[in-house]
């Protein structure tokens, strides 16, 4: 995320690719956060679904997570909250 914030997208993508290779089976929620931060909504939702299926322990923090703010206006975000039985307001 730091590379992305510094406008160093190539390094950001490489770092994320390496992270996924090492931790993709255990840190699905963090990967979703990173994709959301990058503005890659489809990939973020793909990884949120993986986190849900894998019962990622960080998933209960999905509502109001500032790293997911790029997803808040997407209808899939509210649908995901509903799927998790979290309040929408």
Note down pLDDT in tens along the chain; length 89 residues.
Answer: 778 777 788 888 899 999 999 988 899 999 999 999 999 999 999 999 999 999 999 998 999 899 999 999 999 999 999 999 888 87
Q: What is the pLDDT of residue 87?
A: 82
Q: 């406008």: which residue's tokens?
A: 7
- Does the pTM surpass 0.75? The reply is yes
Whole-angstrom distance, CA of residue 77 vs CA of residue 86: 11
pLDDT at 73: 94
Residue 50: closest CA among 75, 28, 20, 79: 28
Three-state DSSP state, 75: helix
Which of the 8 DSSP states describes residue 26? T
Predicted confidence at residue 6, as pLDDT, reads 74
- For residues 55 and 72, what is the distance between their CA atoms, to the nearest angstrom? 21
Q: For residue 60, which of 35, 34, 83, 36 has the smallest C-alpha distance?
A: 83
């Amino acid at each position: 995320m730091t590379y992305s914030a510094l406008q160093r997208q190539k390094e950001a993508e490489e770092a994320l690719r390496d992270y996924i290779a090492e931790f993709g089976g255990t840190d699905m929620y963090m990967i979703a956060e990173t994709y959301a931060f990058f503005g890659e909504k489809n990939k973020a939702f793909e990884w949120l679904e993986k986190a849900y299926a894998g019962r990622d322990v960080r998933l209960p923090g999905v509502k109001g997570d500032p790293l997911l703010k790029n997803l808040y206006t997407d209808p899939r975000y509210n649908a995901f909250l509903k799927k998790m039985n979290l309040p929408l307001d």
